Amino acid sequence: MKFKQLYFPNDFKPIVNSDDIKYGSSKSLDMPGIEPDIDREPENSYLLQIQEMNIINGQLEKQVEQRTKKLTEVVAKNIKFISIIAHDLKNPFTSILIALEILKEKLGHNNIDDIDEYISIASDSANRTLILLESLLTWASSQNIEKSFNPVKINVHDMLNEEINNINNWAKQKQILLIHSFKDNLLHVCADLQMVKTVLRNLISNAIKYTSPGGEITIYVTEREKLIEIAIKDNGIGMSPEAQKKLFKIDSFQSTAGTNNEKGSGLGLILCQEFIELHGGSIWIESESGKGCEFKFTLPHYI
């Protein structure tokens, strides 16, 4: 048998190295057009990706559920809030209208004592309405914290004197004595002036509301390291432990009449709590039924 001789070009290079041609060698050959036999990505890597996606989806669903719940609570809270506002505004306006109608009748009889009584009722109702509206305006502004919250250096002595003078006429109408016990006129707090004034107006007006004619309300200040504690104490009707638990809670709507049958809902206290906590302070009550109330709150000391 004859074998035909093969001739290769001078630039020919073998595609297989001689080192690769060994008996029993399992080394793969890199052949053109043929995929090398390499390990592929295992199938469980896809399963891992699916598991990761399921975990992420679960987290997103949980976040959506939490935010939906929070939004639902906010909507419910706002509905309750509006209901309380409407209730608190309706009562004093009704009192004013009734007092004015009676005044019209009394003017013809020239009964000075009766006229003075109903003027006091109308004035009292107007004052309470004004305090509520001012509180609501301050609260509405506070919802945009970046623009509305403006803590500054405040002289505690000057601020308290100003608020006492503003509300003292109402106390005099009810024959209640406002006493202030703070001699240090160098104490300062770092706070938003309008918010703190709103807190003071609400707490002092509440004390007047629940103190009987001839009673006393004492306002005093205590320095506590990095905090300044302000207290408003009255000798009025006090508050039971059960009633105290319902304070500062918008879902515990409770209208309690004052000693002159003044109406209220506790909305002012909810606003006070929000304003004080915005400063990093605290607000609380110390009271016993029949033994008066003492509301205290703290603000950061300006040093």
In a domain, 121, yes or no: yes
Mean pLDDT throughout 253-271?
A: 70
**Both tokens of residue 272?**
């006070």
Taking only the tens place, the pLDDT of each residue in 49-99 is 788 888 888 888 888 878 777 767 666 666 666 655 665 666 667 667 777
Is residue 6 domain-resident?
no
Residue 179 lies in a domain: yes
How far apart are alpha carbons 156 and 185 in whole angstroms? 7
Kindly report the pTM of this predicted structure: 0.61
pLDDT bucket at 25, cuts 50 / 70 / 90:
very low
**Domain range enclosing 175:** 68-300
Instruction: Indicate whether 36 belongs to any domain.
Output: no
Cβ count near 145 (within 10 Å): 10
The count of structural domains within the chain is: 1
Are 219 and 205 spatial neighbours (Cβ–Cβ below 8 Å)?
Answer: no
**C-alpha closest to that of 159 among 115, 205, 117, 190:** 190
Domain of residue 122, CATH code: 3.30.565.10
**Rounded to whole angstroms, how far apart are CA atoms 81 and 87?**
10
Checking if the pLDDT of 18 tops 60, the result is: no
H/E stretch holding 141:
helix 112-142
The residue among 273, 278, 123 whose CA lies nearest residue 203 is 273
Q: 11 lies in a domain?
A: no
**How far apart are alpha carbons 183 and 113 in whole angstroms?**
40
End-to-end CA distance of the chain: 114
Q: Does residue 11 carry a pLDDT above 50?
A: yes
Report percent pLDDT > 90 for the chain.
25
| pLDDT above 70 as % of the chain | 67
Phi and psi at 259, nearest 5°, equal: -70, -20
Domain-located, residue 44: no
Instruction: Flag whether 20 is in a domain.
Output: no
Residue 115 included in any domain: yes
